[in-house]
């Protein structure tokens, strides 16, 4: 039995399948996930688990070289923007419109749904390489 880190079998399988430059999304409870994209649905109820809890757990298991955010986050959810920037200080950040983020989400390898209920708590992460 795995004894630390991400224990969700589906999520750890998805993380282990990532290659360099692959993208995946961590989203709030309301983010639409395009048909055909594998969903790791972690939401239990409103606020559980939080976006930050999931982001922290995933980042501990994954090399991240860059990420995409909706530019609307800076106006509507500055706390979450700060949280993401502080969690990924060395990753390249790119801001695009929320509509563009939803369009880009059609290309991700998988999506993780959290119980987050705050607006624009969505990020598309780009996998890095550890060597």
Tell me the C-alpha to C-alpha distance, in Å, between residue 9 and each of 4, 53, 84, 101, 111: 12, 17, 25, 27, 15
90 marked ligand binding residue: no
From 16, 41, 24, select the one nearest 105 (Cα to Cα): 24
76 marked ligand binding residue: no
22 marked ligand binding residue: no
28 marked ligand binding residue: yes
Please pick, among 5, 7, 9, 20, the residue that the annotation labels catalytic. Answer: 20
120 marked ligand binding residue: yes
- Our answer to whether residue 20 is catalytic in this structure is yes
Q: How many CA atoms lie within 13 A of 84 on its CB side?
A: 26
Give the residue numbers of the binding site for substrate. Answer: 28, 98, 120-122
Q: Among all residues, which ones are annotated catalytic?
A: 20
Give the residue numbers of the binding site. Answer: 28, 98, 120-122
């Amino acid at each position: 039995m795995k004894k630390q880190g991400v224990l969700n079998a589906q999520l750890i399988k998805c993380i282990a399948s990532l290659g360099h430059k692959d993208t995946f999304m961590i989203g709030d409870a309301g983010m639409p996930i395009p048909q055909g994209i594998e969903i790791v649905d972690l939401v239990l109820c409103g606020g559980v688990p939080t976006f930050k809890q999931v982001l922290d757990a995933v980042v501990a298991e994954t090399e991240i070289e860059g990420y995409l955010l909706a530019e609307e986050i800076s106006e509507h959810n500055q706390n979450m923007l700060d949280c993401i920037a502080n969690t990924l200080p060395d990753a390249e950040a790119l801001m695009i419109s929320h509509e563009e983020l939803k369009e880009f989400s059609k290309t991700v390898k998988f999506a993780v749904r959290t119980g987050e209920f705050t607006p624009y708590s969505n990020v598309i992460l780009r996998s890095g390489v550890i060597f």
